[in-house]
Amino acid sequence: MKSIVPLSLVLLGAALALVLKPLIWLHPPVAPGLWPVYDAAFRAAKYVDLTHTITPQIPVWEGFGPPTFSPAVAGRDIPGFVRKGERFTYEKHGFEAIRYALSTDQLGTQLDPPAHWAPEYPAIDELPATYAIRPLVVIDISAQVKTDYGYALQVSDIARFEQRYGRIPSGSVVFVRSDWSKDWPDPALATRKPFPGVSLAALKFLHLERKILFHGHEPLDTDATPTLEGESWLMHHGYAQAEGVANLDKLPPVGALVAIGFPKLGGGTGGYARYIAICPPDWKYGVSSSQIAEAPLPRSDKPLVFDATQGMRVRK
């Protein structure tokens, strides 16, 4: 037997819909989950890239040697499309690709997992996903480095920093600014000694007293001691570290976040990392999403072509 809805209820429902429709428009449903956090904190934030570009000319420890780039070629015949050994081209195949011969996983801006020195600890693919975003602290020792190029961060520097900016939060990332990276990509940087570093005492204080996630520095090594004592201590106690970070002079000492990206290379003892600082909207450096073209990305009037002299694709 069919139920019959009284006409009065139908009319009442229609009336309520007309009344509530503008209210729903004025007060839309609350966005789910963390979307409101993005709208409130990240949409207008300023983003600063802290990452060097990997090229064949960057500074690399002489024991590894430089990377090389070359146009990718087919690894086997695909009838009617490409022959083994043939270079892919836009004209014939519709795309091009690059072959990267990376001499080491210790190139450019890095995230060193403890397995770099200690195989009993996690490799790069075993680092937890919780590394993705953290509070960022920047301690500046560039003034000390100007008078002593081999200066290393001391516990006293951390104490002065905290007197001015407050206690370093647990779980944060601490980057040490020395301005060493201002000479990047001069290959001579890889052999310049001494260089600015981080003392073992400072590392122990940051990890054991302040419980930070990891620290980072601009040079390609933690310290200039003969045994690399700081890096050895970190790795053999299960701590990661960032190396080769850039643009620390464009960051506030406190108040920013850092987004951390790295490849998930199986058993990797190092990682080509991408660090992005997320700064408050009123910060003087960086760019917000509303200031640039993101999707679609901008078209260039200079196409990418492989330059044999530079050993990489460049815009010409």
What pLDDT is stored for residue 15 in this prediction? 53
Task: Give the β-pairing of 304-307 and 312-315.
Answer: antiparallel
The radius of gyration of the chain from alpha carbons, rounded to an integer in Å, stands at: 26
Residue that wins the pLDDT comparison between 1 and 188: 188
When pLDDT is averaged across residues 250-267 and rounded to a whole number, the result is 97
Rounded Cα distance between 290 and 278, Å, is 14
- DSSP characters over 13-64: HHHHHHHHHHHHHHSPPPPPTTHHHIIIIITT-EEEE--PPP-TTS---TTT
Render 72-92 in DSSP notation, one character per residue: -B-SS-BTTTB-TTPBP-HHH
Q: List Cα–Cα distances, 260 to 46, 217, 271, in angstroms.
A: 16, 15, 11
The tens digit of pLDDT for each residue in 198-233 reads 999 999 999 999 999 999 999 999 999 999 999 999
Instruction: Read off the pLDDT of residues 141-187 as tens digits, 9 standing for 90 and up.
Output: 999 999 999 999 999 999 999 999 999 999 999 999 999 999 999 99
Of the candidates 188, 183, 243, 245, the one whose C-alpha atom is nearest the C-alpha of residue 59 is 188
